[in-house]
Amino acid sequence: MSSNEDNLNPGIPPVRAETQRDTENSRRVDQPSLSIAHMMVWTLGCAVALVVYRVFFAERGPDNPIYRVTMFVYILTGGTSLFGLAMLCYFRIRRIPALVAPGHWLVLGNALSFIGTWLAQAAMQWIDLINPYGNYYGYFLVSSIGVAAVLVVYVFAIVRAPADWGRQWKAPFVFLCLQQAIWIWVYSSRILFRQYFGLYWISMFMSFLAMVALLHCIRQKKPWNWLHTLGVGIELLSFPLMAAWQVARFLYPPV
């Protein structure tokens, strides 16, 4: 009797299952597939990052192989972040769901971080042109504003995280928020001539914890879209880049 009733009246499928299935499909379908046009925009982003490096960083860094490899990866991640930011803007214009996955917020945060760094370097060179023996308050101020913008992005990611993310995806953003807060402390200490010894290493430790938390999250194999994967990949390179930079400075100290 129950089997006949099931055949005649199959019933309503579980709403939770349908909702979860619809959410997963929206992550995969609503975002356009990668194409040659996307590759061209990514190449343009890397070209912009290369030009910025040649203008602001090429003559300031040490001349050693570790630094050169680190800066090469930095250029790729910077250009990829610009590409991701362009895609988020494109999605907004075309009314495609954006900022619906953790990696989208990571793309936005890293893009703002790179842009803030470049603007700070521009402020430093502008100060050098005006007064080569002046202070770098403008550099530290611009850096603080850029870091604060990234901190706001990650806080919004935690606050606006939908339930289908799961609690585990909030952990990387918590560590990243702590890292940005430490950097604000560092730049503020430089402006106020206060001690900030050890804060940089604590910031690196927060970046390491964020990387470990991300590696734990990606083991769950949820059907996120490619822009999310792009953001996670960029963030996973953050700690290795910081560590490689410190190794370069240790093995090849500036003269």
The predicted model gives 211-236 an average pLDDT of 88
Could you tell me if 33 and 65 are in contact, meaning their C-beta atoms sit under 8 angstroms apart?
no
The answer, as to whether pTM is greater than 0.85, is no
pLDDT at 17: 44
For residues 212 and 176, give the distance between their C-alpha atoms in angstroms, rounded to a whole number. 12
The average confidence (pLDDT) of the chain is: 80
Q: How confident is the model at residue 115 (pLDDT cuts 50, 70, 90)?
A: very high
Strand, coil or helix: 29: helix
> Which residues, at least 6 apart from 105, have a Cβ–Cβ distance to it below 8 Å?
99, 153, 154, 156, 157, 173, 231
> Which residues, at least 6 apart from 101, have a Cβ–Cβ distance to it below 8 Å?
27, 224, 225, 227, 228, 231
Q: Which residue has the higher pLDDT, 107 or 127?
A: 107
Q: Is residue 25 exposed (0-12), middle (13-18) or buried (19+ Cβ within 10 Å)?
A: exposed
For residues 53 and 72, give the distance between their C-alpha atoms in angstroms, rounded to a whole number. 9
The predicted model gives 127-134 an average pLDDT of 68
Residue 108, pLDDT > 50, answer yes
C-alpha to C-alpha distances, 115 to 31, 73, 245, 248, nearest whole angstrom: 25, 16, 19, 23
Q: How confident is the model at residue 14 (pLDDT cuts 50, 70, 90)?
A: very low
The predicted model gives 222-231 an average pLDDT of 86
pLDDT at 105: 95
For residues 154 and 109, give the distance between their C-alpha atoms in angstroms, rounded to a whole number. 7
pLDDT at 150: 96
pLDDT at 161: 84
Q: How confident is the model at residue 252 (pLDDT cuts 50, 70, 90)?
A: low
Residue pLDDT, tens place only, 181-209: 999 988 887 766 666 667 888 888 999 99
Q: For the chain, which residues make up each domain, given as ranges?
A: 35-251
Q: What is the dihedral of CA 219, 225, 227, 233, to 10 degrees?
A: 10
For residues 216 and 232, give the distance between their C-alpha atoms in angstroms, rounded to a whole number. 12
Strand, coil or helix: 32: coil
For residues 101 and 107, give the distance between their C-alpha atoms in angstroms, rounded to a whole number. 10
pLDDT at 189: 78
Residue pLDDT, tens place only, 40-75: 999 999 999 999 888 877 666 666 777 788 888 889
Residue 6, pLDDT > 70, answer no
For residues 172 and 106, give the distance between their C-alpha atoms in angstroms, rounded to a whole number. 10
H-state helical runs in the chain? 2-8, 15-29, 36-56, 65-93, 102-130, 137-159, 170-192, 199-218, 226-236, 238-251
Residue pLDDT, tens place only, 140-169: 888 899 999 999 999 999 998 887 787 889
